[in-house]
A and B are shown apart, each in its own frame.
Chain A
Amino acid sequence: MIDIVVEAKNLRKTFGGLVAVDDLSFSVMTGECFGILGPNGAGKTSTIKMIYAFSPPSGGTLNVLGMDISRHARAIKAKIGVCQQENNLDPDLTVLKNLEVFASYFNIPAAEAKRRSRELLELMAMEGRAASKPVELSGGMIRRVVVARALINRPELLILDEPTTGLDPQSRHQLWERLDVLKHNGLSILLTTHNMDEAARLCDRLIIVDRGRLVVEGRPPELVRRHVGRHIIEITDHNEPVRAFLRERNVPFESVGHRTLVGLENGEELCGRIKERFPDAACTMRMANLEDVFLRLTGRELRE
Chain B
Amino acid sequence: MKLYPDISLRLFRVWQRNLIVYMQSWKVRSLPPLLEPIFYLVAFGVGLGSLVGGVRYAGEEISYTRFIAPALIAITVMNNAFFENSYASFVRMYYQKTFDAMMTTPLTVQEIIAGEILWGATKAVIATAIMMAAISVFGLISFPEGLLLLPIAFLGGLAFGGAGMICTALVPNIEIFNLPIFLFITPMFLFGGTFFPLESLPDWGRTTAVFLPLTHLVNLSRSSAIGRSDASVITGLAYLVLFVSASFPTALYLMRRRLIK
Measured CB to CB, the closest approach of chain A to B102, in angstroms, equals 6
* Whole-angstrom CA separation of A86 from B10 in the bound complex: 25
Per-position binary interface string of chain B over residues 96-111, scored 1 when its CB falls under 8 Å from any chain A CB and 0 otherwise: 1110111111111000
In the complex, are the beta carbons of B105 and A90 less than 8 A apart?
no
Contact of B20 (CB < 8 Å), options: A78, A84, A89, A93 = A93
B17 in contact (CB, < 8 A): yes
Interface residues in A24-71 by Cβ distance below 8 A to B read 52, 54-56
* Whole-angstrom CA separation of A88 from B102 in the bound complex: 10
Residues of B within 8 A of A74 (CB): 106, 108
A298 in contact (CB, < 8 A): no
Measured CB to CB, the closest approach of chain A to B79, in angstroms, equals 21
In the complex, are the beta carbons of A86 and B97 less than 8 A apart?
yes
Residues of A in contact, count (CB < 8 Å): 26
In the complex, are the beta carbons of B106 and A106 less than 8 A apart?
yes
In the complex, are the beta carbons of A106 and B100 less than 8 A apart?
no
In the complex, are the beta carbons of B20 and A88 less than 8 A apart?
no
Interface residues in A94-147 by Cβ distance below 8 A to B read 97, 101-102, 104-107
In the complex, are the beta carbons of B97 and A106 less than 8 A apart?
no
In the complex, are the beta carbons of A88 and B100 less than 8 A apart?
yes
In the complex, are the beta carbons of B106 and A77 less than 8 A apart?
yes
B16 in contact (CB, < 8 A): yes
A92 in contact (CB, < 8 A): yes
Interface of A is mostly: loop
Measured CB to CB, the closest approach of chain A to B85, in angstroms, equals 16
A82 in contact (CB, < 8 A): yes
Closest to A152 in B: B105
Closest to A73 in B: B108
Listed residue (B21, B100, B104, B261) with the most chain A CB atoms within 10 angstroms of its CB:
B104
Interface residues in B58-113 by Cβ distance below 8 A to A read 96-98, 100-108
In the complex, are the beta carbons of B17 and A101 less than 8 A apart?
yes
In the complex, are the beta carbons of B260 and A105 less than 8 A apart?
no
In the complex, are the beta carbons of B10 and A55 less than 8 A apart?
no
Measured CB to CB, the closest approach of chain B to A50, in angstroms, equals 11
Measured CB to CB, the closest approach of chain A to B74, in angstroms, equals 29
Interface residues in A273-289 by Cβ distance below 8 A to B read none
List residues of B whose CB falls within 8 A of some A CB: 10, 13-14, 16-17, 20-21, 24, 96-98, 100-108, 260-261
Closest 4 CB pairs of A and B: A88-B97, A105-B105, A82-B104, A92-B21
CB<8 Å pairs between A and B, sample of 8: A54-B103, A56-B260, A77-B106, A78-B106, A90-B101, A101-B17, A106-B106, A107-B10
